[in-house]
Amino acid sequence: MIVVNFSHPLNEEQQRRIEALTGQTIDAVYDILCQLDQGKAFAPQIADLLDAVPAKAEDWQTNSVLVNLPGLHNAAALVVAELHGRMGHFPACVRIRPVAGSVPTKFEVAEILNLEAVRQEARTRRFPGGADK
């Protein structure tokens, strides 16, 4: 599995948790510094960031890809859209949360968000009471 990380580095414990939740071994983690120029269009900047990932077009389509999205919501939306275009489906995403009561604050992997499964489930609500047309 390839992990594309647009956020803080994932520590060993977080990576083990990802492997436990997905049932897959992490083959590579690509840490992508997501510093965007607010004075320029975001879409080309996101495309450039993903172009910098050492993965071929075939890798995006044939490997399991997990994404730790950037915190900036507009950037996250563009990452999802760009990856959908490259992969042919929505990526799965990591959700990180603070550990309750930790001092200093620690973060843990809370869950894996399977965006493709969410999309498929949402399609059942597209035409309530009728067939998906």
pLDDT at position 128? 73
pLDDT of residue 126: 86
- Concatenate the DSSP letters of all residues of 73-108 into one string: HHHHHHHHHHHHHHHSSPPEEEEEEEPTT-SS--EE
For tokens 């120029």, what's the residue? 37
pTM: 0.89
Q: Which two tokens stand for residue 76?
A: 């996250």
Domain ranges of the chain: 2-123
Return the H-helix or E-strand segment holding 123: helix 115-123
pLDDT at 131: 59
State the 10-residue block means of pLDDT for the chain, 133 residues long: 96 98 97 96 97 92 95 96 96 97 96 96 82 55
pLDDT of residue 130: 58
